[in-house]
Structure 1
Amino acid sequence: MSKAKRTGTQSPAQHAADSHDLIRVHGARENNLKDVSVELPKRRLTVFTGVSGSGKSSLVFGTIAAESQRLINETYSAFLQGFMTTQARPEVDVLDGLTTAITVDQERMGADPRSTVGTATDANAMLRILFSRLGKPHIGPPGAYSFNVASVSASGGLTVDRGAEKTKTEKVTFSRTGGMCTHCEGRGTVSDIDLTQLYDDSKSLSEDPFTIPTYTGGGWVVRVIAESGFFDVDKPIRRYTKKERHDFLYREPTKVKINGINLTYEGLIPKLQKSFLAKDREAMQPHVRAFVDRAVTFAECPDCDGTRLSEAARSSKIKGISIADACAMQISDLAEWVSGLDESSVAPLLAKLRHTLDSFVEIGLGYLSLDRSSGTLSGGEAQRTKMIRHLGSSLTDVTYVFDEPTTGLHPHDIQRMNNLLLRLRDKGNTVLVVEHKPETIAIADHVVDLGPGAGTAGGSVCFEGTVEGLRTSDTVTGRHFGDRAALKETVRKSTGKLPIRGATAHNLRDVDVDIPLGVLCVVTGVAGSGKSSLVHGSIPAGAEVVSVDQTAIKGSRRSNPATYTGLLDPIRKAFAKANGVKPALFSANSEGACPTCNGAGVLYTDLGVMAGTAMTCEECEGKRFEASVLDYHLGGRDISEVLAMSVAEAEEFFGAGEARTPAAHKILDRLADVGLGYLTLGQPLTTLSGGERQRLKLATHMGEKGGVYVLDEPTAGLHLADVEQLLGLLDRLVDSGKSVIVVEHHQAVMAHADWIIDLGPGAGHDGGQIVFEGTPAALVADRSTLTAEHLAAYVGA
């Protein structure tokens, strides 16, 4: 109901009744929002649209969902709040009508190697109980079937008071049976380290022999080794005695004193195992992952065959199936097996387990298995996995908040996702969705379009109303809502081929295919059909491939586009050269930092049980640098003014005149190429949207040497208007002599391709085959695959 209809003639009671049906946001100013005011209908599906960086996430996640969570936290006791992450109130004047918000975002699920799809959704917990009740032979409680529970046996003395009798000590034995494989400690893999990749044994400790990330000459890690007293620092490592070699590589943790400080020395191998090998490979920073790939070989554990489970856990079976067998099954097959179990003693458990497994299938994840490491799921798969626990919930009047739920979905699967969103709404819930895909925008009851641009050019409500109103509105989204890319009249001819032979990674069925070079090649197919397995898991080594995948950018609030892309290095050097001082002065994370806020620009105050506060540092006024550093100029600007520039401004600034810096200009060109001209150089990475982060990563990789670029769903997080710009970028890459391979579902990218490889026909064991190879026009004419049907409908053929 509009404001006009609520004023004048309404009684206070009527107005109160209306307000219960609305979430009211007035004066929202989080990040780039400019006093945004919206009134969202409850128990309806509202879709938020706008170009990447327009403020959608700031409004939905940073304001509405964040305040709901903060208010819920305040209902707990002060004692419990002391253990929770403190949250500041969002920058907003009025925010009422809120209900409990459940956020289902695209954050990757934990990178802990012990976390699997099964442990993340409670499916494993239910299976363990099931096997502890029905498994033959019976080996113990549920923990006996868990690869995260070790077997423990201990004995000791217990003092027993016998009343009138003399108090005496009795021997007691404690034991716990766990299902963890003792050889691999429940990881499923064992590792072997190549010592030649760790250090140069012809050098001594004083000659900086290490080739391990962070093991630099002056660092504490190396100082502890060199100053431990166990080694002659001038003696080459290859001349160490047997004892010295053992101490260097395998010595148990030992206390040592260095410069009066008590520290712990530990052999190189156990130290590396704790610092690198205990982490999930997919979550590592690129340079650390490259080191691990170079120095460590992982092999399936020979004792448990990669199942992570002890022999006892694998010996207990239900109808010939062990818990390891069940977890390795494709979930759609496991659901069928569980449906065949009919045991009245565990009927409620079976019903709950069936529902959970059926939800996987319904949400389009039936091709996964429960033993799949959760850290290997894509952002879209992780989001849908998080949805599982909400599908059967009896809660109503909840606000569900989704971040681009169609990410990673083939057009065939989007309708299924739409049905799930509508089902949540029809149960009496409010559903808020940030989305770019027109198929999902079309089902909205209410649309809020933010913009008109991105960053400082966005943050305003351009349109609020129905989908039909959006279509006719003169907004960027409205104008592009009906966009349809046409099939190319002529396609490029390949200049060579990248042969893949006998590919069997994951679900691939002995696939032979030639990927054409010198063209834009799109690899497509339904989610789970084997696209990533073919492109990321099967391209031969040494093919000079630059891969831009969907792993998240690691970065704190001190990280920004300038630091992430390496742009800050040439900028610091240019300032240093122009002023005759050290480059380190122009880093807010080093010598140039404001001493009051340590270069953060703000002062964070922890208020214990209350929400913490962040105040702009009065000393540097948020500029992050010591005052004396700002006296140095380049082209009339100080370093803080340069970091406040947008990419587009900086591109002009470093391109000519006194500030001309070719190395910086080259990086800025790439950032502008991927559509990030509006970002400021010093904007914290934590404030960037998902689409911005991916394009930032793409811009960084564009500077690497390599003739083949592999992009994984580059349209993720891109507005309809931005897809056209992306296609132009892909064309420029190909025209510059690169080969571009894109794993993609977006029909506009398919239509623009020179060559398409379509995998399927289904997902999981129903996929893994090449179902089409050829030009987009031939695919549309063929009409033999799901992709062909959707592409034909898209181009109006």
Structure 2
Amino acid sequence: MSKATRHAADSHDLIRVRGARENNLKDVSVEIPKRRLTVFTGVSGSGKSSLVFGTIAAESQRMINETYSAFVQGFMPTLARPEVDVLDGLTTAIIVDQERIGANARSTVGTVTDANAMLRILFSRLGKPHIGPPNAYSFNVPSVKASGAITVERGAGKTKTEKATFTRLGGMCPRCEGMGNVTDFDLSQLYDDGKSLNEGALTVPGYSMDGWYGRIFRGCGFFDPDKPIRKYTKRELHDLLHKDPTKIKVDGINLTYEGLIPKIQKSFLAKDVDALQPHIRAFVERAVTFTVCPECAGTRLSAEARSSKIAGINIAEACAMQISDLADWVRGLDEPSVAPLLAALGHSLDSFVEIGLGYLSLDRPSGTLSGGEAQRTKMIRHLGSSLTDVTYVFDEPTIGLHPHDIARMNDLLLALRDKGNTVLMVEHKPEAIAIADHVVDLGPGAGTAGGAVCFEGTVEGLRASGTITGRHLDDRAALKETVREPTGALEIRGAGTNNLREVDVDIPLGVLVVVTGVAGSGKSSLIHGSVAGRDGVVSVDQTQIRGSRRSNPATYTGLLEPIRKAFAKANGVKPALFSANSAGACPTCNGAGVIYTDLAMMAGVATVCEECEGKRFQASVLEYRLGDADNSKDISEVLAMSVAEAEKFFGAGEARTPAAHAILDRLADVGLGYLRLGQPLTTLSGGERQRLKLATRMAEKGGVYILDEPTTGLHLADVEQLLGLLDRLVDSGKSVIVIEHHQAVMAHADWIIDLGPGAGHDGGSVVFEGVPADLVAARATLTGEHLAAYVGA
């Protein structure tokens, strides 16, 4: 073989990256072996996601999209080319990330996988009585009356065409329209009937008379906007609340008017309540009562769909079964006529069990899945795939997994690799890093202090490398010698949410409580179902922070407000000048810093604004400065600072701003010292989002804090800092409840509540409550066994 041929063969076995500069990457160059499992490590913010997701996976997806016709590309998301000099050896990338699966109230575990579709086909073939095609079993398809021509036999071979009306059967419950619950509105929360519309009678968020809705309500002509609502006739009140969509003309513009209640149902209630903005969620909780639909008993399905059964089970009952039980039921059906369908459905359901999700049911709303559960649900369609030479990209697949479950996840990842695929994985857990064929460690720090490759090689090489990851790879926390004494207890009695079995437990107050157990054992059901929502309880989770690409840590935390006031006071001008979303915005890019050009089916282009050079502000605004003469900054320079830099800047000298410094202190406390103040929120990971929320809510006057897996996205070296933060919260008089699997957090607890013994209907009970030392000594639960092994007991 010639040298050139050998080089070509070698290049086919590598993904080569040269000069990657996405986000904080500093001309990174790496060679990643194909058909191997490569783990990317490094502290939070070191550039792992920028390299794996923002560069390698993004370019693979962009190039695949370009193979389609221009017409098809017009319907696909547009992707910009990553900042990289050379990227070759790419194969098709399949991204399996932690993004929640939609917040559509109609979306369930069954609908986002193929399981529901296959079940509907099965019932349409075997269900007795037979009621129609698969759509007749779908709660998302309504029954509709239709008319058309039918051919009628007249005898002697003659036919006649006649008009006929018939019903096309869908499975949607007509009462709740396939939602499973019905809504009742408290009208006093929608309007003040003593006022007219022009006097601001409507109290629905966003329905101001000064806005677009006001224009429609005032100009619709169905009622007098100056008349108090309590004086409306029955017809006027019906038109205000319930009128069907009707074409109207206001000031020469063609518009559609619709009653207040259907409008609210479409704009607010079509989404999962938990995904709404806080002020809208508060309104919905005040104004709307959700009750189980009396007609379908919450199954979402019509009476006809529920009447059709296989072996005494209807499709609603099948979807309500725990998936592991449903898999057994499917295996028990012996029908040669649908054998391939039964095999495919059985395989899909077995994949749920394999991946540790056998405790779910197909009717579980997808919006209620955790980030880890969502990621594992997305994995299911790939486990049985016959594709090889695919690049699978995972973002911390061990999130939400008990140490007992991580071994099973490792086996699945290795099985994907052994089929001839390339597996790329961003990870922090030592148990997951241990299975890597190749490791790329980024750092050395976070943000501007990161973005470089610190080590490339084997796990053993990493351990001996002296990098932050290598030094901490074998870290083990010890049990505390003494634990705090509780100051009281929070009583839970008869908790029965999801799989909980009428749980009675006292959660100690004034201490650090860790709630643990295998995935699906009932941890979140217990805490979020029985503790969150009580007075004085602050719950901090990892759900997406709602906001545009203009939102950043400074705007989200309220930090920008004292900063703007400090600039305004120092320069004798109004604060609005120092907002890129207000008076100070660059007029060319409207304060975005970039100009977005839509190129239809081709990738849109974002070019730095030439007017403000990406600084987002008018040139005149940047002349105003804050700080000492030898260290003054303009507003764009402040927003480019990291939290740690800004903490020093606003802590002393002429820039000293106590209100800003207090917020920056809290951000540094939760391990976000590396974030830039102006960094878009859309670039943050799930763990970073949770810590940002925690920093914001630490100022609230809650007595009890609930944290949901705060170690998510944390490097081994940062776990110690998190434990310090938890200690400071408790020592300041707070009660801290942590839902967590990380053994270091368990070992540091004052009190552990362990749920189980298994998942789903095999869980839901408290199997241990007490101090960590007793859990380790007894080794009577899976958690006890793994914690004992971790601390070396």
Bin the TM-score by the shorter chain. over 0.9
Check the 8 A contact 1:599/1:624 in 2, yes or no. Answer: yes
- Please, which moves more after superposition, 43-52 or 279-288? 279-288
Matches within 5 A, 1:203-242: 203-216=195-208, 218-230=210-222, 232-233=224-225, 235-242=227-234
Residue of structure 1 in register with 2:127 after alignment: 135
Check the 8 A contact 1:452/1:458 in 2, yes or no. Answer: yes
Distance apart, 1:239 and its partner CA: 4.2
Judging changes above 3 Å, is the alpha-carbon distance between structure 1 residues 285 and 720 closer, same or farther for their aligned structure 2 residues?
Answer: same
Check the 8 A contact 1:282/1:551 in 2, yes or no. Answer: no
- 1:264-312 residue CA offsets vs partner (Å, 9 max, x unmatched): 3332212111110111112212222222222211111111011111101
1:46 paired to 2:38: yes
Residue of structure 1 in register with 2:426 after alignment: 434
- The aligned length equals 782
Residue of structure 2 in register with 1:624 after alignment: 616
1:29 paired to 2:21: yes
SS in 1 for 2:71: helix
Aligned partner of 2:657 among 658, 661, 677 = 661
- 1:223-270 residue CA offsets vs partner (Å, 9 max, x unmatched): 433454555555544444444433332233344555554433332212
- Please, which moves more after superposition, 569-578 or 728-737? 569-578
Distance apart, 1:205 and its partner CA: 3.2
Residue of structure 2 in register with 1:678 after alignment: 674
Aligned partner of 1:732 among 725, 728, 737 = 728
Query: Alpha carbon RMSD of aligned pairs, Å?
Result: 2.0
Unaligned runs of 5+ in 2: 153-159
Residue of structure 1 in register with 2:744 after alignment: 748
- 1:415-439 residue CA offsets vs partner (Å, 9 max, x unmatched): 0000000001111111111000000
Judging changes above 3 Å, is the alpha-carbon distance between structure 1 residues 137 and 159 closer, same or farther for their aligned structure 2 residues?
Answer: closer
Q: Residue 676 of structure 2 aligns to which amino acid in structure 1?
A: T
Distance apart, 1:535 and its partner CA: 0.1
Residue of structure 2 in register with 1:759 after alignment: 755
Q: Residue 699 of structure 1 aligns to which amino acid in structure 2?
A: A
Aligned partner of 1:478 among 452, 465, 470 = 470
Distance 2:448 2:203 in 1: 43
- Please, which moves more after superposition, 121-130 or 278-287? 278-287
Residue of structure 2 in register with 1:83 after alignment: 75
Residue of structure 1 in register with 2:637 after alignment: 641
Check the 8 A contact 2:515/2:738 in 1, yes or no. Answer: yes
1:688 paired to 2:684: yes
1:356 paired to 2:352: no
- Please, which moves more after superposition, 583-592 or 304-313? 583-592
Distance 1:77 1:262 in 2: 36
- 1:616-639 residue CA offsets vs partner (Å, 9 max, x unmatched): 000111011222332333334322
Distance 1:662 1:744 in 2: 34
Distance 1:217 1:667 in 2: 36
Matches within 5 A, 1:198-277: 198-216=190-208, 218-230=210-222, 232-233=224-225, 235-258=227-250, 260-277=252-269
Distance 1:89 1:553 in 2: 26
Check the 8 A contact 2:543/2:689 in 1, yes or no. Answer: no
Check the 8 A contact 2:542/2:689 in 1, yes or no. Answer: no
Judging changes above 3 Å, is the alpha-carbon distance between structure 1 residues 437 and 601 closer, same or farther for their aligned structure 2 residues?
Answer: same
Distance 1:610 1:119 in 2: 31
Residue of structure 2 in register with 1:68 after alignment: 60
Distance 1:718 1:316 in 2: 50
Matches within 5 A, 1:439-588: 439-539=431-531, 542-588=534-580
Residue of structure 1 in register with 2:157 after alignment: none
Distance 2:479 2:218 in 1: 64
TM-score, reference length from structure 2: 0.95
- Please, which moves more after superposition, 620-629 or 567-576? 567-576
Residue of structure 2 in register with 1:3 after alignment: none
Distance apart, 1:487 and its partner CA: 0.3
Distance 2:403 2:450 in 1: 29
Residue of structure 2 in register with 1:784 after alignment: 780
Distance apart, 1:399 and its partner CA: 0.7
Check the 8 A contact 2:146/2:168 in 1, yes or no. Answer: no
- 1:680-722 residue CA offsets vs partner (Å, 9 max, x unmatched): 1111112223322221121122122211100111111111011
Aligned partner of 1:196 among 188, 191, 194 = 188
Distance 1:198 1:664 in 2: 38
Residue of structure 1 in register with 2:156 after alignment: none
Judging changes above 3 Å, is the alpha-carbon distance between structure 1 residues 124 and 425 closer, same or farther for their aligned structure 2 residues?
Answer: same
- Please, which moves more after superposition, 665-674 or 333-342? 665-674
1:178 paired to 2:174: no
- 1:439-471 residue CA offsets vs partner (Å, 9 max, x unmatched): 000010000000011111110000000000011
SS in 1 for 2:417: helix
Check the 8 A contact 1:53/1:692 in 2, yes or no. Answer: no
Distance 1:51 1:649 in 2: 18
Distance 2:524 2:280 in 1: 22
1:651 paired to 2:647: yes
Judging changes above 3 Å, is the alpha-carbon distance between structure 1 residues 672 and 258 closer, same or farther for their aligned structure 2 residues?
Answer: farther
SS in 2 for 1:627: coil
TM-score, reference length from structure 1: 0.95
Judging changes above 3 Å, is the alpha-carbon distance between structure 1 residues 341 and 255 closer, same or farther for their aligned structure 2 residues?
Answer: closer
- Please, which moves more after superposition, 641-650 or 220-229? 220-229
Distance 2:94 2:333 in 1: 34
Q: Residue 464 of structure 2 aligns to which amino acid in structure 1?
A: T
Check the 8 A contact 1:500/1:540 in 2, yes or no. Answer: no
Check the 8 A contact 1:543/1:708 in 2, yes or no. Answer: no
SS in 1 for 2:527: helix
Q: Residue 155 of structure 1 aligns to which amino acid in structure 2?
A: S
- 1:296-353 residue CA offsets vs partner (Å, 9 max, x unmatched): 1111111101111110111111110001110000000000111111110001011111
- Please, which moves more after superposition, 234-243 or 569-578? 234-243
Distance 1:211 1:487 in 2: 54
Residue of structure 1 in register with 2:5 after alignment: 13
Residue of structure 2 in register with 1:613 after alignment: 605
- Please, which moves more after superposition, 595-604 or 489-498? 595-604
Q: Residue 378 of structure 1 aligns to which amino acid in structure 2?
A: S
Distance 2:292 2:235 in 1: 32
SS in 2 for 1:277: coil
Residue of structure 2 in register with 1:97 after alignment: 89
Judging changes above 3 Å, is the alpha-carbon distance between structure 1 residues 211 and 490 closer, same or farther for their aligned structure 2 residues?
Answer: farther
Distance 1:159 1:601 in 2: 66
- 1:732-784 residue CA offsets vs partner (Å, 9 max, x unmatched): 11111111000000000000000000000000000000000000011101110
- Please, which moves more after superposition, 655-664 or 382-391? 655-664
SS in 2 for 1:39: strand
- 1:565-618 residue CA offsets vs partner (Å, 9 max, x unmatched): 122223233333444444333222223221211211111122233222211000
Residue of structure 2 in register with 1:165 after alignment: none
Distance apart, 1:137 and its partner CA: 0.6
Residue of structure 2 in register with 1:412 after alignment: 404
Judging changes above 3 Å, is the alpha-carbon distance between structure 1 residues 633 and 225 closer, same or farther for their aligned structure 2 residues?
Answer: farther
- 1:461-503 residue CA offsets vs partner (Å, 9 max, x unmatched): 0000000001111111001101001000011111111100000
Distance 2:728 2:194 in 1: 47
Distance 2:432 2:100 in 1: 23
Judging changes above 3 Å, is the alpha-carbon distance between structure 1 residues 609 and 226 closer, same or farther for their aligned structure 2 residues?
Answer: closer
- 1:4-59 residue CA offsets vs partner (Å, 9 max, x unmatched): xxxxx971011111111111111111111100011011111100000111111111
Distance 2:660 2:253 in 1: 42
Residue of structure 1 in register with 2:789 after alignment: 793
Residue of structure 2 in register with 1:119 after alignment: 111
Q: Residue 686 of structure 1 aligns to which amino acid in structure 2?
A: T
Q: Residue 789 of structure 2 aligns to which amino acid in structure 1?
A: A
